[in-house]
Amino acid sequence: MNETGVRALVISLLDATGLKKILTSISATLISFGVNDILQVVSVAVGIGAGVMAIRHYAVATKLSQAKLDKLNGPKDGTT
């Protein structure tokens, strides 16, 4: 079987299973993305990362403050 026959067979199998339409839709969507769209996706990702880091920082700072308070308010009976 030559290259043209194999190509026709693969295309007909893709067409029969519906994958050709899916691949066409995905590639058209990716091609239609402009620079602004890509920058928006990047900025959203950076914003989500910054938010996660801020939440993590708050959690660590809260635990540290609680540990400092616990140390300051240690045992009151003088058996330190």
Domain locations in the chain as residue ranges: 1-32, 34-73
Instruction: Note the pLDDT tens digit of each residue in 11-36.
Output: 787 777 777 788 888 888 878 878 78
User: How far is Cα 6 from Cα 14, in angstroms, rounded to an integer?
Assistant: 12
> 19-46 as b/e, with b when 16 or more CB fall inside 10 Å?
eeeeeeeeeeeeeeeeeeeeeeeeeeee
User: CA–CA separation, 20 vs 12, rounded Å?
Assistant: 9
pLDDT tens by residue, 46-77: 999 999 999 999 999 999 999 999 999 887 76
* Pairwise CA distance, residues 57 & 69, whole Å: 18
Q: Is the pLDDT of residue 78 over 70?
A: no
Classify 33 in phi/psi space as left (phi over 0), alpha (psi -120 to 50) or beta: beta
